[in-house]
Amino acid sequence: MGGWPLSPLLIGCVCFLQLQLSIVFSNHEYLIGVGSYDMTGPAADVNMMGYANLEQKTSGIHFRLRARTFIVADASNNNNRFVFVNLDAGMASQLLTIKVLQVLHSRYGNLYNEENVAISGTHTHAGPGGYLQYVIYSVTSLGFVKQSFDAIANAILQTIIQAHNNLKPASIFINTGEVKGGGINRSPSAYLENPAEERARYDSNVDREMSLLKFVDEASGKSIGSFNWYATHGTSMSRDNKLISGDNKGVASRLFEDFFSSPSTITSTLPPGINTYIVADIGQLVKKARGIKASGGHECSKERSKEAKVRKNDGSLFVAAFCQSNVGDVTPNVVGAFCIDTGKPCDFNHSSCNGNDQLCVGRGPGYPDEILSTKMIGERQFITAWKLFESASEELRGKIDYRHVYVNFTNIQVKLENKKVVKTCPAALGPGFAAGTTDGPGAFGFQQGDTKINPFWKHLRDLLKKPSKHQVRCQSPKPVLLSTGEMFDPYPWAPAILPIQILRLGKLIILSVPGEFTTMSGRRLREAVKETLISNGNGEFDQDTHVVIAGLTNTYSQYIATFEEYHQQRYEAASTLYGPHTLSAYIQEFHKLARAMAKGEKIAAKGPSPPDLSSQQLSLLLGPFEESPPKGIKLGDTKQDIALPKRGYFSKGDRPSATFWSANPRHDLLTEGTFAAVEMLQGKKWLTIHDDDDLSLFFKWKLDNSSLHGLATIEWEIPNHAISGVYRLRHFGASKTSGTSRISYFTGTSHAFAVK
């Protein structure tokens, strides 16, 4: 534009024009909205979902659980959209999906429905259970736990509302790469049953690929979120852990979100927004701290616990979600499985030690420190995700589309490739299920790979339900230990009707599966869907079409092993509910969806709706006591104050802790608030440095075993990059006044201490 007079006015004018043009002609195709909300359920007394270990009941929080959601809409027709929700939960639940869809319907009409909403779980085994509707998934939680359910349902809705409200023009980038050391196969002998030619096509017996999306706000050029899919179990935390935790994927999200919002926080201890450094001599700090006593418990408002939050949720948080994939046989315990008695590797075919499965336990990279293992596996996923995020340059373009259908899996006719017609069966579990895995051995002396059940167990089984002849034949070679698909008392033990769904975002195809596909099962399904899309799609799909599996989505139906793996009857096969042809049935039904999508056709029949069993749920878990502290003591008073080391101050790596008289955290979950805080003295004010969503802070709850009073211990693992200063620990809690339904809130602080 040489020769034009450069008057400021004109420059302004040109800029304005360019802005206009960029809006009008911008080739943005998508609107994106993201949301994130606290879904931490009851932190006391509730059985954790995953290991089915009766003794594993929540008693505190390592870090909070969140729901993370994105909505993507077609910019030129924004009714065409879908929602993807990722929960820090063991898995999706049919009842959650049903109830959430009902509320969405009343709020948004038909904009969000079963076809375009996917709700997926990360598969952490460290979240409160009792939110699933089939009996087998709520035995150890003593039935349905309304508080668990409500916390998750509310969080899903809040995230969808947030994402809906902040939809805006955005570009989406896609990238893929390998995670190093994030998982190994925990049933390698079963994997070896797959044909040699098939195995030869892959360089590993697990999928190491992570597929990542990056969302960038068109107007500001800033990234608003990132979702990825990668397969590894949420079993870095063991079956003995009692602290609520998002496990390795939760850690990865926490690291990514914190690093994004303030890249300095990973190397310093300061949360976003605080950068006043206290430079002082340790002697002065010690002197200062000595003069500041514990505050004593006192009443406070519920809001006070929210104000103490480091990351305040005003709906504009950057959202990084780590979603689950074909996780069936992938363990994060990457060192391998060893016998706890001899220290030797376990038996290869059964993962047992001299015939005893309970002695064979997998080790994470931080063994024997499971919290360290959780952090390490989380960090490995975070590092790959960050690299993919930083280098993502391929922009997604093309259609948003989806297909969904319900299928009754108890009796599907499946036409195999060799034209033979076979059938699926009613759901059943084999003894390998009861044996558990190297991530969490089971009980009662069952072994993975058992293809017989002894007469004693057969007798017990028959008291519950004798499997039908059809069932025994159909499930073979799985011996039927529990014929859950034939058990309906007091309500169905296993799902019969499963949702399957395909979401399309340009070249990315997301397969929502209601269970845990093993590595090879996942590969077969992805490949079959891709072939179907290409061969039916008029050139719209090609080798570049990228298919990912979103595991544990919309409902839960345990495992899906290949036909060949099924014959070994290890845990995954024994938990493949609908018989040896379960995978083939999935491939056949997904083929129909994929073909319809490729041809632009609707699905003729949406299939039978799954039942809503909410009115039949049993709930046997008692409510919390209405505890009051001993005479003369107030809730929030310290029972055991900070114990200073001899030198008079703490150093990095130390773990100062304080125990407070407290009340059961079930009285109020303090959603988007915190039970615990580390505060740092800044001038005359105390500022929160960490809350119970931080990896360095532990909130542990228990009943004092002699007096039955509640006790909360807050423990801070001082990070290596902590800053010298004066600190204290704070506890927030809620209690119920005896004889009333009134909830009151209290707080208390520890004695101050110096950190060098």
Ligand X SMILES: *[C@@H]1O[C@H](CO)[C@@H](O)[C@H](O)[C@H]1NC(C)=O
State the binding site for Zn(2+).
123, 233, 516, 559
Point out which span in 201-209, 239-247, 334-342, 407-415 binds ligand X (CB under 6 A).
Answer: 407-415
| Contact pick of 166, 408, 619, 682 for ligand X (by CB under 6 A) | 408
CB of 609 to ligand X, least distance (A): 9
| Contact pick of 7, 106, 418, 705 for ligand X (by CB under 6 A) | 705
CB 392 within 8 A of CB 214: yes
Helices 146-165 and 94-108, axial angle in degrees (round to 10): 40
From CA 338, how far away is CA 359, in angstroms rounded? 8
CB of 660 to ligand X, least distance (A): 16
CB of 528 to ligand X, least distance (A): 24
**Within a 10 A sphere around the Cβ of 543, how many other Cβ atoms?**
7
Point out which span in 229-237, 408-416, 476-484, 504-512 binds ligand X (CB under 6 A).
Answer: 408-416
Cβ-based nearer residue to ligand X, 247 or 572: 572
Helices 582-599 and 519-536, axial angle in degrees (round to 10): 30
CB of 42 to ligand X, least distance (A): 22
Touching ligand X, residues 186-215 (CB under 6 A) = 189
CB 157 within 8 A of CB 63: no
| Contact pick of 411, 619, 628, 682 for ligand X (by CB under 6 A) | 411
From CA 616, how far away is CA 604, in angstroms rounded? 32
CB of 192 to ligand X, least distance (A): 8
Cβ-based nearer residue to ligand X, 80 or 411: 411
**Within a 10 A sphere around the Cβ of 457, how many other Cβ atoms?**
17
Distances 633 to 296, 298, 629 between C-alpha atoms, Å = 9, 11, 6
Please provide residue 56's backbone torsions phi and psi, each rounded to the nearest 5 degrees.
-85, 90
The owner of tokens 């740092």 is 680
End-to-end CA distance of the chain: 61
Residue 708 is a binding residue for ligand X (CB under 6 A): no
Tokens of 165: 């409200």
From the number of C-beta atoms within 10 Å of its C-beta (0-12, 13-18, 19+), residue 123 rates as: buried
Strands 336-339 and 360-363: antiparallel
Q: Residues 234-273: x/- map of binding to ligand X (CB under 6 A)?
A: ----------------------------------------
Residue 334 is a binding residue for ligand X (CB under 6 A): no
Q: How many residues in total does the chain contain?
A: 756
Number of residues that bind ligand X (CB under 6 A): 10
Tokens of 616: 């039949």
CB of 189 to ligand X, least distance (A): 6
CB of 408 to ligand X, least distance (A): 4
From CA 180, how far away is CA 205, in angstroms rounded? 14
Residues tagged in the binding site annotation: 123, 233, 516, 559
Which residues pair with residue 117 across a beta bridge? 83
Point out which span in 25-33, 295-303, 363-371, 406-414 binds ligand X (CB under 6 A).
Answer: 406-414
| Contact pick of 65, 496, 529, 723 for ligand X (by CB under 6 A) | 496
Touching ligand X, residues 339-398 (CB under 6 A) = 348-349
Reference 409, options 614, 590, 191, 595; nearest CA is 590
| Contact pick of 285, 497, 498, 561 for ligand X (by CB under 6 A) | 497
CB of 353 to ligand X, least distance (A): 13
Q: Residues 573-592: x/- map of binding to ligand X (CB under 6 A)?
A: --------------------
Q: Which residues of the chain form contacts with ligand X (CB under 6 A)? A: 189, 348-349, 408, 410-411, 496-497, 608, 705
